[in-house]
Structure formats: C-alpha cells, structure tokens
A and B are shown apart, each in its own frame.
Chain A
Amino acid sequence: MFADYSSSELVAIFAMQGFAGLSLFSIFVLMALGLAIIFGQMGVINMAHGEFMILGAYMTYLTSHVFESLMPGLYGAYFIVAMMVAFLAAGALGAFVEWALIRRLYHRPLDTLLATWGLSLILQQCYRSIFGAREVGVSLPDWLMGSVAITDMIEVPINGLFVMILTLLIAAGVYYLMYRSNWGGQVRAVVQNRPMAGAVGINTERVDRATFALGCGIAGVAGSAFTMIGSTGPTSGQLYIVDTFLVVVFGGAASLLGTIASAFTISQAQSTMEFFLSGSMAKVLTLLVVVGILMLRPQGLFSLKIRR
C-alpha cells in the first residue's frame, strides 16, 4: 500500500497524519484527564463525562455569542474567557451532582454507572431543549485561523497547535495539583483509605466534592477546546465516552502518565491507519487491539504497585 507514493510524499503523509493524530491526542488527553481524576483516582464511573464536556462546548458557544453582540472589539479574546466559563460551569454542575447523587453511591460503583447514565440522558435532553437538536459551531477568532507552513508539503493548522499547547499546560497543571501540592496529597490519601484520611483530620467530603468538580471542570475545558475542531450537538458527548474510558483504562487507571501515554498511542494508531483504511475500520482495529491488550494486561500500560 506504500508503493503508490514517493518517499517524500510518504514523509509528508506521516507528518500530516501524525499532526492530525496529535490534535486527536490533545482532545483525548483533555477528556481523559478529567476522567482519570474521577474514575482513576476516585473510582467513580461517570458515564455523564461526555455531557460535562458538551456543557463546556455549549458555554463556549454562548460566550462567543455574548462577545459577538456586546463587545465585538474584544472578539479575539473570547476564547480565553470561554474556557474559564466552561471550567466554572462544568465544575459547578459537577459539585452539585456530587452532592446530590454521587456521594450516596461511593460504596456501590456499579450503581453510579447507572445513575450517571440517567444523568447523561437528562442532560442530553436539556441541551436539546435549550440549544436545539442541530449541531452548533463557533467561529474562530482571526488569530486562530490559518496554518503555518513548515515545509512546502507540510502545513500545520494554528488552532490545532493552540489546542496542543493548551493541553500541555493543563496536563502540567493537573500533575502539579495532584502530585506536588498539599491538596493533591489529601486527594490521594482519601482515595487510598477514606476512614484513615478522615481520622488524620482531612475533611473527606469536601475533598471528594472538590475532586469531582475539578474532573468535571477539566471536561468542560476539553469541550471548549473541542469547539475549535468540530461542531457540537446534544449527543456528541456519547460518541466519545467509550474512547475516553478505554484511554483511561488502557493507561492504567491510577496513573496520569499512563493516561497520557495511552492517549498518544491510541490517537496516533487511529489517525495513521485512517489514511490507509476507511475511518470505521481504523477505529475498529484500534479499539480491538486496545481491548485485546487489556485482556492480556488488565492493569493497563502503567500500573502502580500497591497491595489491594
């Protein structure tokens, strides 16, 4: 299948597909980071994670409209504001959901799955009632349009680059928060042993709520970034939920580094294969390989060596 292309074309193909893969990788990482906190650290199966993401996307859509109608001069800056709005909205909803639903179900993880699935249905219908069933998109500010030409055959779109840088920053932030800050220590203590963490004076309920809200907030930012690459509909979130869970599980649920590594592997494999096979077959093959590897190595790529 390589015979039809010259070697320089092949390099360009791999570079471009590699870059397309990197964009996909950024989205996967952003989505999976939130889930890695909620599912990997807290053990809560949040099936509504995709809907939190879509909430972020809709918030970005709303913010862009507000900027467009009220202060068109500042339109170039709306995206930064939109991301904060998305983070706060999704985080606030997350805190509410934790208070109303999740905290009653910490000892029944499989039931959380059902309850959050119900939540996702409700959210989907809310989006459909409020924003309509049609997909919405935002127009990008000028400075995010266009592309950078690296060689005459390789061009890199700026919005993709921006999302990538954003991903790196957020990933670094989450890493710092979880592994270097005092608060992250509390989170990990609560996750490892709830009664013991409570006994040493950590307010476990508050830590739980903040952790869940943080995970949801990051999902909101992911949705915000998502609007730069694709359009958003009420059921878009559902399309990504399986991928996201697989990324987290494949990486080794409790490891942030693993999540990033597995997001990289899956997105690169998928986008490179997409060029040579049809999109659906590329996806099937990638998922099959991931499931196959998970059957052989259920703990995922990176696993913490702890006694359970």
Chain B
Amino acid sequence: MNVMKSNLFKRQDLINYGLLALLLLVVLPLTLDIFRLNLVGKYLSYAFAAIGLVLCWGYGGILSLGQGIFFGIGGYAMAMFLKLEASSPEATAIQSTPGIPDFMDWNQLTALPWFWEPFNSLGFTVLAILFVAPLFAFVVATAMFKRRVGGVYFAIITQAIAAILTILIIGQQGYTGGVNGITDLRTLMGWDIRSDSAKYVLYFFGVAMLFLCLLMAHLVLKSKLGRLLVAIRDREDRVRFSGYDVSNFKIFVFCFAAMLSAIGGAMFTLQVGFMSPTLVGIVPSIEMVIFCALGGRLSIIGAVYGALLVNAAKTTMSEAFPELWLFAMGALFIGVVLAFPNGLAGLYTLLVDKFKQRRAHSSAPANRTSAPAAEKEQVDSSSGVTAPSQS
C-alpha cells in the first residue's frame, strides 16, 4: 500500500498540490474581497476545461477546439434548472403565460418546451451535467476515431460543431434565450446564490470540485491508461500493432475531458449567474486551449495556473488598456508556441531540477547522493516520455 501510494504521488507532486491548495484556499480568500474572489471562482471554472485539454491534447495528442461545446452543455444544463426555479408562476405573474422563463414569454411561446421539462428536477440536472456532454463527445469521437480521423481534421470538425451550436443557440431565441443567453438566475433550491455568503460557499465548493477533478485526472495519468495515451500520441501505429484498440483510449480521454469541461460550465453558471452563447463558440474554445498551453500542456496543475493567470491578465488589461489586450493575447499565443512549448510548468520543472541539483552538490555527498540521484533519474525518465509531441 505504502509503495503504491508513493508511486502515485511523488513528493514533488504533493508539494505542488499543497502549494495550489494554499493559494486557493488560504491566500486568495484572505487577501481578496468577495467581488474579486468571485472572479477567481469564474476563472477556475475555465480551469476544469483546461485540465481536460491537458489530458486530451497534452497527453493524448488530440487537439479539440470544441471544449466550449461541453462547457456550454454543462453551463446551460445548470442555467436551465436555475431559470426554471426563478420562473415560478408567482414570480412571473406579469407575463402573458406565467410559469415559463421570461425570454420564452417575450418570444410568444405559451408552453414549456418538452426538453425543458426534466430540468425541473435537480437530480436530473446533475446527471445531465455529468453525462450529456460525455455522451455527445462519445458520439463525435466514435465517428471520428473509429475511422482513424485525427489531428488537424478532428480540430476542424470540433471547431465546426462549436460554430454550429452557437448559431443554433442564437437562432432559436425562444428556446435558448438567444444571444443574451439565460440570465437573471437567483436561487438554488431556495438558497439565494447572489448573496456574498453564497458566493463564498460556491467558491469553496468550486475549489473542492477542482481538486476532485485534479485527483481524477492525476489517477488517469498515473495509471497504465495514461502511459498508453502518451504512447499513442507519440507512435500510434506501434501501439496499434501491439494489439491495442487505439480508438477506444482516445474516445475515453475525449469523453473524460468533455465531462470535466461540463462540470466547469456548471460551476461557471452557479458563480457568475448567467450562461450565454459567447461562452460556447470558437473564441472561448480556443482560449481554453491557450490556458492549457500557457500553463503547460503536460501539467494538470499548470492548466489551473494558466487559466488563472491569463484571465487575471485579461481582466486587468482590458480594464486599463482595452486596445492592448488583443495584442498581448496574440503575442502570448505566438510566444508560448515558439519559445515555451511546455508552458509555465516546463519552466517550473526546470527551476526545481536546478534547485535540487544545487542542493545535491552543496550538501554532504556521502549520505545524500543516493536519494537525489534516484529522484533525478525519475525526473529524467518522466521528462523523456513527456517531451513535446512531434505529431
């Protein structure tokens, strides 16, 4: 048991998780007011999608430009539930049809559409958040990967689906709220989600969910499955010739990433209080990729930092110099791709390694050499496997 544990979580992993927990659970809540903390919560909801992308792009080599689809599915599912709760017959008595969401009334709908009905139940909504997105991902991925379509084509098709979904949501105003999205969400099972105390609770709930997802992603990566993903990314043919059905692994990791993204979408809706098609389309989907790329496409913790940093920069810069923001963002894309393919996590690993080396040199050689040397070897072997893909 002990051996297994030490394999799953190396000491460096534990330190990294500990630092992230310290930052998210202690430092930020103590230093930021609730408005800013709520913003951090919003950024963290993108981190879910970025973690999914680390798994499916960094390790699996599948670049999805459609994580916004799944983010949107999760977010809209949550928003539909909250909207129905906010549109009780008493609260909407002034409408010509009380009891349906306000935007439906504006669009001359007189009854709740059938696919909205089940979202009256919280249980169904939670199931929908967790499973609709993976199911959709499963259909797309099966169609593509079973036919051995991958790489660039997959990216373009997922992007097209994101575009289709946005056009559909905007076009079907009566059913989806159109371009404004679903707004004016108030309570969750009678509990006001707009109060400050609720925002604190939701923030900590979001962080807890984030760590749960990080744990799941960590387990996937440390398992044999994770090794196989890397192998598939680097030499798909060889894995196939070794007798594995490559497509199943790719389908799994894509569905898993979709689920993470959907959870993130639901957390977004809860904390921000609305959901709109601007979070579904091509632009947010590509932004999620850049969170992951900046943080380091091979590090799930890096993805969290990436989402935090890019969004914090976006907020500060678009407040102060709106016209510079796109330049900075563009330069960030190009710079990360050209200069740091492994992102911040790559830099961090380099620094840690250097620090360890220096410590190994400065401390007494007799009793210390064996441990750092072994550790160094492990780092080397892992970095050898996780070198950027040349696909």
On A, residues with C-beta under 8 Å from B are: 43, 45, 101, 104-105, 107-111, 113-115, 117-122, 124-125, 128-129, 238, 242, 245-246, 249, 278, 280-281, 283-284, 287-288, 290-291, 294-296, 298
Of the residues B152, B332, B333, contact of A45 by C-beta under 8 Å: B152
Q: Across the interface, which residues of A come within 8 angstroms of B239, CB to CB? A: none
Inter-subunit contact B155/A118 (CB<8 Å): no
Known: A108-B390, A110-B63, A288-B164. A117 touches B327 (CB 8 A): no
Chain B: how many interface residues by the 8 Å CB criterion? 45
Whole-angstrom distance between the Cβ of B247 and the nearest chain A Cβ:
13
Residues from chain A with Cβ under 8 Å of B157 in the complex: 249, 291, 294-295
A177 to B167, CA, bound (A): 38
- A125-B330, A278-B171, A295-B144 known; A111 and B164 CB under 8 Å? no
| Max chain B Cβ within 10 angstroms of own Cβ: one of A45, A242, A278, A291 | A242
**Additional pairs, 5, CB under 8 Å, beyond known A119-B333, A284-B167:** A43-B152, A110-B57, A111-B341, A114-B333, A119-B330
B interface majority secondary structure: helix
Is A242 a contact partner of B163 (Cβ separation < 8 A)? yes
Question: For the complex, what is the distance from the CA of A109 to the CA of B388, rounded to whole Å?
Answer: 13
Please report the C-alpha to C-alpha distance between residue A145 and residue B88 in the assembled complex, in whole angstroms.
Answer: 57
Question: Which residue of the partner chain, among A114, A115, A284, A291, contacts B168 with CB atoms under 8 Å?
Answer: A284
- Choose one: B65, B151, B338, B390; the contact of A101 (CB below 8 Å): B338
Complex interface: chain B residues within 8 A of A105 (CB): 337-338
Residue among A111, A245, A294 making CB contact with B337, cutoff 8 Å: A111
Task: Select from chain B the residue with minimum beta-carbon distance to A291.
Answer: B160
Partner of A287, one of B143, B160, B388: B160
Chain A residues near B388: list those with CB within 8 A. Answer: 108
Asked if B282 is an interface residue, CB under 8 A from chain A, the answer is: yes
Query: Residues on B close to A: CB < 8 A?
Result: 57, 63, 65, 140, 143-144, 147, 149, 151-153, 155-157, 159-161, 163-164, 167-168, 170-171, 282-283, 286, 289-290, 293, 323, 326-327, 329-334, 336-338, 341, 388, 390-391
Q: Which of B156, B170, B282, B338 contacts A246 (CB 8 A)?
A: B156
- Considering the chains assembled together, what is the distance between the CA atoms of A283 and B169 in angstroms? 13
Q: Is the CB of B144 within 8 A of A128?
A: no
Contacts of A113 in B (CB 8 A): 63, 65, 152, 155
Query: In the complex, what distance in Å separates the CA atom of A122 from the CA atom of B157?
Result: 25
Please name all residues of chain A whose beta carbon is closer than 8 Å to the beta carbon of B290 when the two chains form the complex: 114
Residues on the B chain within 8 Å of A238, using CB: 282-283
Known pairs A109-B152, A114-B293; A284 contacts B338 (CB<8 A): no
Chain A to chain B contacts (Cβ below 8 Å), 21 pairs: A108-B391, A109-B391, A110-B57, A110-B155, A113-B65, A113-B152, A114-B286, A114-B289, A114-B290, A115-B334, A118-B329, A119-B333, A128-B326, A242-B159, A242-B282, A245-B156, A280-B167, A284-B164, A291-B157, A294-B153, A298-B153
